[in-house]
Amino acid sequence: MDNRKAFSAVALAVAGALTTGAAGATDGYFSHGYGMKAKGRGGVSTAMTTDTFGGASNPATMVWVGDRVDVGVDLFRPDRKASRTGSPAGVNGAADGNDTTNFLIPEFGYNKLINPDLSLGVTVYGNGGMNTDYSGSAVANCGAVGGGAPANLLCGSGNLGVDLSQLIIAPTAAYKINPQHSIGVSPLIAYQRFKAYGLQPFGAISSDPANLTNKGYDSA
């Protein structure tokens, strides 16, 4: 092999080693960043002062952003699917897709300089959009587990899924202690909703079977 061919082979090997395939992932119920600018930076925000979403990442930054209002909305479209194979009970099945695929998650921020060293503001943001709603006929025959009828992946009746959503309001105060440093505080006021359904087979081991499935819970 001459030098040119050897060089080409090495170059191809290096290029192959450095090539990566497409990757896709989410952070589950939590956004990779709060505020459109943070999202555009892959979530980088803690040490930056670019908008009024410091209440979600670093409240001390708010005193540096001046008087401003930020409003945004995030379109979240996760791809979810589930399957089971090799089940000893023979209850294999699969469920692709959800009835709900698009989620709009709004966010809002406001900041006001009371004086050059003190600011008051609020950051409002949400988490969610990963709820599941798998088909109630994902398993053709649940046998003794589900009475022999078509059922969801856990052999319950109806669709199988969970739904969790959160709204967080973070009133923020920040104070500039010198030209390079500041401190801040953001108490988080949270409202949360959770619902689970299609879990009927777990009723036998639940301490409260009547409240096991198809129930929603709110908390603050």
CATH classification at residue 108:
2.40.160.60
Asked if the structure places residue 140 within a domain, the reply is yes
At residue 10, the pLDDT reads 44
Percent of the chain with pLDDT over 70: 78
Among the ranges given (22-31, 113-122, 165-174, 192-201), the one the predictor scored with the smallest mean pLDDT? 22-31
Residue 56 resides in a domain: yes
Residue 16 belongs to some domain of the structure: no
Is 95 among the domain residues?
yes
22 lies in some domain = no
The verdict on residue 203 lying in a domain is yes
Q: Is residue 32 part of a domain?
A: yes
How many domains are contained in the chain?
Answer: 1
Where is pLDDT greater, at 92 or 176? 176
How far is CA 188 from each of CA 61, 80, 124, 191, rounded to the nearest angstrom? 16, 30, 10, 10
- What is the residue range of 199's domain? 27-219
6 lies in a domain? Answer: no
